[in-house]
Amino acid sequence: MKKSIIVLGVLVLSLGALSGCTAEEAAASPAPAEAPAQETVAEASQETTRIYPERKAEVTGLVQTIIGNEVTVGLYAAASANEGSSETNPEGVELTEEEKAAKQAENKAAGGGGAGAGASGTREVVLSGETLTLLIPVGTPVYQSSEATGEPVALEIIDISKGASVKIWLMEEEAPDLNLAEFVQVVD
């Protein structure tokens, strides 16, 4: 009985000592910073635009075959690739904001002018007849824009299918004959 009381007393003292140490550590640690303010819509859109590389995609075309992580892409003809881009003119020069707005208005008018007609209208895609076979290393980011929100949605290599339109950025520091993908965007 005496031993039980002694063991119980030691247990209570040790728990008290441990809780006292924790209280000292909490008092010594700096106060937590203010909770971060909610980010604005502009900040959120900047975050999503940072997902895609800043340079232009080196490969644009339709997936002809995909076996494992080896992809064969039928390349778009130069006119077709420029036609689909609202960022550059046919000469490859970046458009000003006014030119971009005018081009969007022109595309809507050409698509029938209805709400969303320009976005959902079909456009003839011309392939150049050239193909390029490349590897998508495991862990390479693959994204597709969400139809509902327009936000990028992460995909896996297995989600890329034959006939999908893709933009592929190649690794810059690797030898050009290796054709290793750095980033893949599946285009709706």
Q: Which two tokens stand for residue 18?
A: 């441990």
The string of pLDDT tens digits covering residues 50-86 is 688 888 999 999 999 999 999 999 999 875 444 444 4
> What's the predicted TM-score (pTM) here?
0.53
pLDDT at 50: 64
Widest CA span in the chain: 96
Mean pLDDT of 132-158: 89
What is the mean pLDDT of the segment spanning 149-175?
88
Pick one of 2.40.50.320, 3.40.50.720, 2.40.50.140, 3.90.1170.50 as the CATH number of 53-93+125-187: 2.40.50.320
Lowest mean pLDDT among 74-88, 149-163, 170-184: 74-88
Can you give the C-alpha Rg of the chain in angstroms?
28
**Cα separation of 143 and 52, whole Å?**
9
Average pLDDT of the segment spanning 97-111:
67
